[in-house]
Chains A and B, each alone.
Chain A
Amino acid sequence: MNNAIEINGITKKYKDFTLGGVQAVVPCGFATALIGANGAGKTTLIDILCGVTGKTGGKAVYFGDMTDIDDDKLRNRIGYCSSANFFPMDWTIKKIADSMELGFDNFDRQRFAELCKRFKLGDPTEKKQKKLMKLSDGNKMRTYLAAVLARDTELLVLDEPASSLDPLARDVLCDLFREYLSERDGERSVLFSTHNIADMEYATDYAIFMANGKVIEQGFVEDLKEKYILVHGDAENADKVRPFMISFSGGRTGFEEIALAENAEMLRAYDTAVETPTLQQLSVGILRKAEEDEK
């Protein structure tokens, strides 16, 4: 299988934070989620991958053979959108259209206008325009998305695109991902970060879990759902099963946690209920383990 990006040991050292030797892939033709708590290093990694921040070491290979993110040829193939203030706040959608057209070869003004209409942002050709600062957070994000989706790219990289959107808009976002991927079947990829995966579950094909500047798990969602199981049980058995669990959370009546599927038979012997976890449940278990390990 081809990869849109292969990340080989990328590091970034700050005074109080180190992004440490990230090894990961973004498979071509799929939507990849970068999942982690706040401060896990998601944004730092995305910024490095998109050439916004420099790196201390390591390298990334894009589309099989490109490595220089400062190369315009590469940048033209990537649609990047940060989580906040992507454009100056006194800009209007008309100004955005003008500047995107100037900055990128593949910006399609017509498509931008269509997307603005679809997102109910107004008409970029109209005289009277609202400035970005007057828009709600959700509408700002919609504006950024319209701008980035109006370019004909092969890879979308979006930092926390869903966090400021209401449930309906998140659903539209998921649809947009699937639409983007299916328009050029197998050639396009999406990478997005999130700390709330539940709404994005059905738009996620590959997941990269990060904690404390490191990648702690990654894989295709369907494979991860076979690797891990969700276990429920009575409190009286909690101590016996604890050693087989990835991480643990329980109360006086019962417990619920993630374990490796290879331990399923053993866990069933302790009168537990074993299920396939959702991506959300998987994320909680994996990230909780990372938090416990840190202590």
Chain B
Amino acid sequence: MKIYQNSSEPIYKQIAAQLREQILMGKLKAGDPLPSIRGLAQDLKISVITTMKAYEELSSEGLVTASKGKGYYVNAQDERMLKEQHMRQLEKHLSDAIYSARIAGVGLEEVEQTLEMLWSIDEV
């Protein structure tokens, strides 16, 4: 895991985002434990409360569950919810793309062409 300490994005959000990605990509599977809060803080050279906040965020999204006295575990992800999460990511990235397109004055047609081109490159 990598952390930008001087980024405008809070450190707890960076941690949550990276763990979220690992869960959604299936690298962390149902039942897998997250690193201990204080162990991760030690590894990343950040404060304990920052790690805790990252885990609480993942917990509120239903991705992990706190087991009292034992730490955090990855929840079984139901497929619909997983797809929902991926859709949310997709929409976010497409919104960013639309934003860039508007600034550059690129129309929908050209964006579609670009998307098709990238899509076909990725399939190979």
A residues lining the B interface (CB < 8 Å): 29-31, 174-175, 178-179, 181-182, 185-186, 201-206, 220-222, 225, 275-276
Contacts and interface: CB of A to CB of B under 8 A. Distances in A.
Contacts of B5: 202
Contacts of A221: 47, 49-50
B45 A202 contact: yes
B34 interface: no
Contact of B42 (A29, A182, A206, A275): A182
Nearest to B53: A222
Contacts of A174: 45
Interface of B: 5, 8, 10, 12, 36-39, 41-42, 45-50, 53, 69, 71
A184 to B, nearest CB: 9
A175 B49 contact: no
A275 to B, nearest CB: 7
Nearest to B39: A182
A31 B48 contact: yes
A203 B47 contact: yes
Contact of A179 (B37, B42, B49, B71): B42
B38 A186 contact: yes
Contacts of A275: 8
B16 to A, nearest CB: 12
9 contacts: A29-B48, A31-B48, A178-B38, A178-B41, A181-B48, A182-B39, A186-B38, A222-B49, A276-B10
A81 B8 CA distance: 36
A205 B42 contact: no
A181 B37 CA distance: 10
B38 A182 contact: yes
A29 B10 CA distance: 22
Nearest to A276: B10
